[in-house]
Chains A and B, each alone.
Chain A
Amino acid sequence: MINNRIGRSRVSQQRGTVYVTVLGVAMIVSVIGLTSLHISRLELRQTQTLQDTAYARSVAQSSVEYAVAKIESDSSWRSNLVHGTEYSITPTGFNATMSYRLLDNDDNNLADDANEPVEIQGIGRYGDATVVYSITYARSVTSEEQVGPAIIHSYGGPTSTNENVASGAYKGQYFLPSFPAEATSWSVTQIDVYLQQNGVATATLHVNLYSADGSGHPNTLLESASYPEDQLPAGSFDWHQVPISTVNGLTPGVGLCLTLEGSGSGNAASAPIATGISQTNSHMLRGGWGSWNDYPNDAILYRIHGVYTTSSGSGEFTITPGSWQTTAAF
């Protein structure tokens, strides 16, 4: 009798185990299935967002193009349009919203001065994405008002040693070009640095241009160019040219920092260094990972090409070259 009870109990335990196993497997399969479904839906949504943003960017650019064409057709645009007001159009078939607004960043008043530059913001909205492009619309600088491009600051040698540029072993140069008193602004158009590959060409050289802080150390990154080491001069030192396109409208009397930074394994470059020299308005930088030291009597070999203007511009109103940039959506 006792054995019979034990036997029945074991049987019912075994029967329960079957259901638990089946339900457990069902739950695992369900979780896996639901997760994969959820992931694929997230990927679809991510793709949709990326596509929306890409098109919104294109629409924002179109908004700027439209705004410029519109104000070119209206000689009274300064009085007909209001600072900061957003104007929208949605042409037939255009499945996105184009808007633009004009900003007078000097005094918030478009109408008070026909010579003041204007910021034009083109806004593109598509789906859930909003992108804003900004340009400067100002009187152009004529060829008579611009000098250059020419070498505006440099050090060409002699040198006494070579130093490596590597990850965490950066080199650089602070420089402050001198301009005539009538110069009102200046731009950098190209940088040349004298260097060569070093060892196995596996690293990457970053040539960066920063604004300078009060100590002549790098502050805000203005433009950057990266070169795999195998694109640098090989076998012997030579000038490596770096075009610069967006470092414009600089104030005379304010210097910049050129840095050579390495990433990846090994040395990114080798650069000749001058030591014990006398130089004005410049000093060499050594450092890495955001920490810099200056060396007034040392220098890398470099040439800064640029232009300077002697007037804020007296030509026609145009989009200032180099002024296209994305800005925060609102």
Chain B
Amino acid sequence: MNNLLANTRLGLSLAEVVVASVLVGTVVVGALNMLGAAVQTKRARADLMVGAWLADQLLAEIKAQEYLEPDDPGLGLIGRNGGESSSDRSNWDDVDDYAFYNVSPPQTKDNTVLNEYSDWTRIVDIWWARRVNGELALLDFGLKGIRVQAIYHEGQADEKIVTRYAYRSKWGALEQAPVYDETVVTHIESELNLGGGAQTSSAHLLNHVVDPNN
């Protein structure tokens, strides 16, 4: 009688342990796969955000500039004018000042280096565009094409490129002189500091927004 009662308190059999181990192993392998996929998705999202943000931020800044050099609109060549330094973006004031811009790590308009994006390079191309189809033109017909590229690990095996295009017209946004004298805001840049990281963002204003500080 005591033997029978003892038998009912026996532990798990070898077969149970093996089957349970197989089940647990399968679940763990599946869970690790899902974790890996989730991490990859999160990383893809971060890359997608950073690349697009870096490209959009610079594109907005360029579009907010005047079509022609304000100090010398008659010259009309692609590139910076005398007195505009290639290393000092803060005094660039027309669209084609950004031609051949190629900087890593990215910088803000006031030349502050964004060290947290040291893996990225930003490149800008500006060209005269044809008004028939937007393609490359040899002369200025009043339309400029803009291409901004944000490149992760430029030239390396894991290189990723986000490209943004835009057009700017001689008769486009903010090219209309106001009837009366007023100072308007054309571009807003903001910086968000969170958890030790900083992110700047910018927006190009299309309407004449009167400068409240002027």
By a beta-carbon cutoff of 8 Å, the part of chain A in contact with chain B is 3-4, 6-7, 10-11, 15, 18-19, 22-23, 25-26, 29-30, 33-34, 36-37, 40-41, 43-44, 47-48, 51, 54-55, 58-59, 61-62, 64-66, 68-70, 72-73, 89, 91-96, 98, 133, 140-143, 146, 148-149, 189-190, 241-246, 307, 318-319, 321-324
Complex A-B: 12 CB contacts under 8 Å: A7-B5, A19-B19, A25-B24, A36-B34, A40-B45, A66-B169, A68-B172, A69-B141, A89-B134, A92-B135, A94-B134, A324-B173
B23 within 8 Å of A (CB atoms): yes
B30 / chain A contacts, CB cutoff of 8 Å: 29-30, 33
B48 within 8 Å of A (CB atoms): yes
B60 / chain A contacts, CB cutoff of 8 Å: 58
| A70 and B170 alpha carbons, distance in the complex (Å) | 11
Is the beta-carbon distance between B206 and A61 smaller than 8 angstroms? yes
Find the B residue at minimum CB distance from A242.
B212
Per-position binary interface string of chain B over residues 1-20, scored 1 when its CB falls under 8 Å from any chain A CB and 0 otherwise:
10011011010110010011
Q: Which of B35-43, B99-107, B113-121 contacts A (4 or more CB under 8 A)?
A: B35-43
Is the beta-carbon distance between B59 and A58 smaller than 8 angstroms? yes
Is the beta-carbon distance between B176 and A318 smaller than 8 angstroms? yes
B194 within 8 Å of A (CB atoms): no
A143 / chain B contacts, CB cutoff of 8 Å: 179-180
Is the beta-carbon distance between A33 and B5 smaller than 8 angstroms? no
- Say whether, besides A37-B37, A44-B48, A245 and B163 are in contact (CB < 8 Å): no
Is the beta-carbon distance between B178 and A69 smaller than 8 angstroms? no
B109 / chain A contacts, CB cutoff of 8 Å: none
A133 / chain B contacts, CB cutoff of 8 Å: 206
By a beta-carbon cutoff of 8 Å, the part of chain B in contact with chain A is 1, 4-5, 7-8, 10, 12-13, 16, 19-20, 23-24, 26-27, 30-31, 34-35, 37-38, 41-42, 44-45, 48-49, 52, 56, 59-60, 63, 129, 131-135, 141-143, 145, 147, 163-173, 175-176, 178-180, 182, 184, 204, 206-212
Find the B residue at minimum CB distance from A305.
B210
A105 to chain B, nearest CB (A): 20
| A321 and B178 alpha carbons, distance in the complex (Å) | 8
The 8 closest A-B pairs by CB, nearest first: A91-B134, A324-B206, A243-B210, A33-B34, A7-B8, A65-B169, A65-B172, A69-B169
B20 / chain A contacts, CB cutoff of 8 Å: 18-19, 22
Is the beta-carbon distance between B5 and A3 smaller than 8 angstroms? yes
Find the A residue at minimum CB distance from B133.
A89
Is the beta-carbon distance between A72 and B142 smaller than 8 angstroms? yes
Is the beta-carbon distance between A243 and B209 smaller than 8 angstroms? yes
Is the beta-carbon distance between A11 and B7 smaller than 8 angstroms? yes
| A30 and B29 alpha carbons, distance in the complex (Å) | 11
Is the beta-carbon distance between A29 and B45 smaller than 8 angstroms? no
